[in-house]
């Protein structure tokens, strides 16, 4: 287990608050603290399982559902190298590292949670973390079989740009998977932006509105994509665990 000591400048983003410039990662950590999304080491080690009394228990049931489907899918791939973009505290990267013959890298600009991940998951020899953003993958070339965006694609303003960049780091025939992020109908995006602004304003972080973006399934159409889980299908609408998020796979053509 190691955390690569990388420069964090590229693509990090800055926020203006009361005339002061604040790095995005610091403001984001403060937001997660306000939302009660910072977990103890003991809780992190168990995620996605969590006490049914936790305020985010329902959300974690959904993430457990997404995680199980993704892990079962990737197990059938054989030896696999995976990078998770925006891994946060590393809980999903940890679960992915349990796949036999896998090599996992989690990458995030959130240094505090990444350090916690490095400590909590230090026994996983096939798991490492990179303190930086997707642009730091350049050193690895096109070396990954799988790239995962889990609850992170909404923090990138240009869907086309970030997907095109990510595909450059996949081997031919590699796959990019997007889970646990909302996708909207084009006609619904304007209202979704308003809800986002109202939410961040209500909890005291209005400046975060400019760092949360709303993508549509239509954005995928320039890529070789498939929908592996559709929350709007008749079957899934009546599922015991209502997962509201699409699971999208984008393949790098051979």
CATH classification at residue 179:
3.40.50.150
Residues 158, 215: Cα–Cα separation, whole Å: 9
pLDDT for 1 beyond 90: no
Residue 7 CB-half CA count within 13 A: 5
User: Is-contact 123 98, C-beta < 8 A?
Assistant: no
> What value does the mean pLDDT of the chain take?
89
User: Is 202:190 a contact under the CB 8 Å cutoff?
Assistant: no
- Could you tell me the CA-to-CA distances from 45 to 35, 95, 118, 184 in Å, in that order? 20, 10, 11, 33
What pLDDT does 22 receive?
Answer: 52
More confident of the two residues 248 and 254: 248
What's the domain count of the chain? 1
- Which three-class secondary structure state does DSSP give residue 77? coil
pLDDT at site 21:
39
Least confident of 18-22, 88-92, 145-149, 167-171: 18-22
Count CB atoms within 10 A of the CB of residue 234: 7
Model's pTM, two decimal places?
0.89
144-190 pLDDT, tens digit per residue, is 999 999 999 999 999 999 999 999 999 999 999 999 999 999 999 99
- What region does 95 belong to: left with phi over 0, alpha with psi -120 to 50, or beta? alpha
pLDDT band at 16 (very low <50, low <70, confident <90, very high): very low
Least confident of 14-28, 54-68, 161-175: 14-28
Q: What's the domain range around 240? A: 3-251
Output 107 or 137, whichever has higher pLDDT.
Answer: 107
């Amino acid at each position: 287990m190691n955390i690569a000591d990388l420069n964090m400048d590229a693509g990090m983003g800055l926020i203006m608050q009361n005339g002061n410039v604040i790095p995005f990662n610091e403001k984001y950590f403060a937001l997660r603290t306000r939302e009660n999304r910072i977990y103890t080491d003991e809780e992190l080690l168990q995620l996605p399982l969590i006490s049914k009394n936790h305020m985010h228990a329902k959300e974690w049931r959904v993430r457990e559902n997404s995680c199980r489907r993704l892990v079962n899918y990737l197990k059938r791939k054989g030896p696999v190298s995976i990078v998770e973009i925006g891994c946060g505290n590393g809980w999903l990267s940890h679960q992915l590292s349990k796949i036999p013959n896998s090599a996992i890298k989690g990458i995030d600009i959130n240094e505090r949670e990444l350090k916690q991940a490095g400590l909590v998951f230090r026994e996983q020899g096939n798991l490492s973390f990179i303190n930086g953003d997707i642009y730091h993958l350049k050193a690895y070339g096109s070396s990954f079989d799988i790239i995962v965006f889990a609850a992170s694609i909404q923090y990138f303003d240009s869907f086309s740009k970030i997907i095109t960049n990510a595909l450059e780091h996949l081997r031919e025939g590699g796959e990019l998977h997007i889970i646990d992020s909302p996708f909207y109908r084009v006609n619904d995006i304007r209202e979704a932006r308003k809800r986002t602004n109202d939410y961040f304003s209500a909890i005291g972080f209005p400046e975060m509105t400019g760092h949360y973006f709303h993508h549509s399934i239509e954005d995928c159409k320039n890529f070789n994509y498939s929908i592996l889980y559709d929350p709007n299908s008749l079957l899934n609408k009546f599922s015991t665990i209502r997962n509201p998020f699409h699971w999208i796979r984008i393949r790098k053509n051979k």
